């Protein structure tokens, strides 16, 4: 056996284990078998149950190489699983078949090769069929090798000594293909499971339905753009891209345990709004009753009516203000001293302490306590993801997903990381998260911003040292949020 063939045998295990692309692996299987036997032609078929499908076809003397990555596909019809077909027979009986001269054999139907010979001038002589059987005795495919050659280029029978080597190669190749299929199935299952979890979380509230999906689109577009920039060193491999996008899908998984009344809070009073409205209505009715009973003067009645109207107006302003002015906040805090006489003669406050705190929220719709609960979703994200076994290429998912509210200046949460403690992937995820939050059309507490206004705020965050300016510039340049 040739030295080069022996080297192929020694290297094949390493090569098979390193190969990640299925089509490249199929091509490597066939070319390795051809190198070991020194043959001129070869065909690799994959088992489809009732037929063998052509995947790779090589004839070196005619410079033919079809199938495999980047090459013209083999368009020949599948070979039926019939004993008349030598390659099918090898699969059916799980046996290697070695034929010195197909023109001297009447055991199998060689009309196909003979017809091909007549059309092309090629002469098919020696042939070897090698089944690819995995460790569970499943036939994954078949290799058909044609015209073994001696050192002078003469066609010779396939050597007996190569049969066990090729059977071993076929078995090893089959196991590699099965493992590759398992890995692909696990990847697809993990991807789909993560998408289902994320969709379920976003679907808990109509105000967050598209957030994660948008971030994944922006992130995927950005990575595609980044990988296409020759002057930028920061690149994402296929594996790293998958892991990063998985972390985006999972970044809000902690919201699974966030109360809906906080996630869905459209205004400052939230679920208390209806109760406040009813109480103010009650206060107005009680005042009207006192007026009709003559317990208050018309002037006092008019004053109470104007006071109630003013309180309602202030409440309405506070409920819908994006930012609460100081004068409005001060007036609301004075409401804490208002009392009305109830039907039982007791005096009750117009507003509870909780309602005064809610109406006095400076920005947004959440109180400090509600904001703390909302911010806790990143803590829960880490706790939930730590229950999963993310190892190897997936080891960074928990970190990337749970740190997207950390700021470079240390003012983020929950760990108050700063500077180099925050990796580039987290910095990118943070920008994606903030950009979509600013431009989202489904947030209960604010109107969507234009892209221009969103970037104004992002650049303010950059100047404040919160987010990465270089990554922000790349994201802005990529226009990853625009439909392609």
Q: What is the pLDDT of residues 250-263, one digit of tens each?
A: 999 888 888 888 88
- pLDDT band (50, 70, 90) for residue 392: confident
Which residues contact residue 230 at a Cβ distance below 8 angstroms, ignoring those fewer than 6 apart? Answer: none
Residue 416 Cα distances to 419, 430, 458, angstroms: 10, 14, 19
Alpha helices in 322-396 (DSSP H): 326-334, 353-359, 368-385
d(CA 361, CA 319): 10
| Of 468, 379, 388, nearest in space to 428 by CA | 468
Res 442: pLDDT: 64
**pLDDT one-digit tens code per residue, 66-118:** 998 888 988 888 988 988 788 888 889 888 999 999 898 888 888 878 887 88
Q: Which helix (H) or strand (E) holds 144?
A: strand 139-149
**pLDDT one-digit tens code per residue, 35-73:** 889 999 999 998 988 899 998 999 999 999 999 888 898
DSSP structure string for 39-58: EEEEEEEEE-SSEEEEEEEE
Quote the tokens at residue 154: 């003469």
Query: Pseudo-torsion of CA 110, 111, 113, 116, nearest 10°?
Result: 170
Average pLDDT over residues 206-216: 80
Is the Cβ–Cβ distance between 223 and 474 less than 8 Å? Answer: no
Is the Cβ–Cβ distance between 293 and 287 less than 8 Å? Answer: no
- pLDDT band (50, 70, 90) for residue 445: low
d(CA 263, CA 206): 10
What percent of the chain is modeled with pLDDT above 70? 93
Greatest Cα pair distance, the chain, in angstroms, is 125
């Amino acid at each position: 056996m040739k030295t080069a063939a022996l080297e192929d045998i020694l290297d094949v295990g390493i090569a098979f284990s390193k190969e990640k692309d299925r089509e490249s692996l199929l091509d490597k299987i066939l070319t390795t078998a051809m190198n070991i036997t020194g043959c001129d032609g070869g065909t690799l078929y994959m088992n489809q149950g009732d037929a063998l499908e052509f995947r790779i076809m090589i004839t070196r003397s005619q410079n033919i190489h079809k199938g495999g990555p980047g090459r013209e596909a083999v368009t020949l019809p599948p070979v039926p699983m019939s004993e008349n077909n030598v390659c099918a027979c090898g699969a059916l009986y799980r046996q290697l078949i070695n034929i010195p001269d197909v023109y001297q054999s009447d055991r199998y139907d060689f009309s196909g090769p003979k017809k091909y010979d007549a059309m092309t001038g090629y002469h098919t002589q020696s042939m070897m069929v090698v089944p690819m059987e995995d460790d569970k005795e499943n036939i994954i495919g078949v290799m058909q090798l044609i015209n073994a050659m001696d050192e002078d280029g003469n066609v010779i029978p396939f050597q007996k000594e190569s049969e066990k080597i090729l059977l071993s190669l076929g078995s090893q190749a089959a196991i590699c293909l099965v493992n590759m299929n398992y890995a692909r199935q696990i990847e697809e299952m993990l991807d789909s499971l993560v998408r289902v979890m994320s969709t379920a979380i976003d679907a808990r509230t109509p105000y967050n339905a598209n957030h994660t999906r948008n971030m994944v689109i922006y992130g995927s577009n950005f990575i595609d753009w980044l990988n296409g920039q020759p002057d930028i060193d920061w690149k994402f491999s296929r594996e790293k891209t998958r892991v990063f996008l998985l972390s985006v899908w999972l970044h809000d998984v902690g919201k699974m345990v966030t109360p809906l009344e906080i996630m869905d809070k459209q205004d400052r009073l939230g679920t208390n709004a209806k109760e406040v409205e009813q109480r103010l209505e009650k206060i107005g009715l009680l005042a009207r009753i006192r007026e009709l009973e003559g317990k208050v003067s018309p002037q006092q009645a008019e004053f109470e009516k104007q006071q109630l109207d003013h309180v309602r107006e202030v409440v309405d302003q506070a409920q819908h203000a994006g930012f609460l002015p100081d004068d409005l906040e001060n007036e609301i805090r004075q409401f804490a001293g208002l009392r009305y006489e109830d039907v039982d003669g007791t005096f009750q406050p117009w507003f509870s302490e909780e309602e005064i705190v809610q109406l006095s929220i400076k920005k947004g719709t959440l109180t400090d306590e509600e904001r703390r609960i909302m911010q806790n979703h990143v803590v829960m994200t880490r706790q939930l993801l730590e229950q999963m076994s993310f190892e190897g290429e997936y080891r960074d998912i928990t970190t990337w997903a749970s740190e997207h509210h950390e700021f470079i200046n240390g003012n983020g949460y929950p760990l108050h990381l700063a500077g180099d403690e925050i990796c580039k992937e987290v910095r990118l995820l943070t920008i994606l998260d903030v950009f979509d939050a600013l431009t989202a059309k489904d947030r209960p507490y604010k109107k969507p911003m234009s892209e221009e206004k969103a970037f104004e705020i992002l650049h303010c965050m950059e100047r404040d040292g919160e987010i990465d300016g270089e990554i922000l510039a790349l994201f802005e340049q990529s226009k990853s949020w625009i439909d392609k």
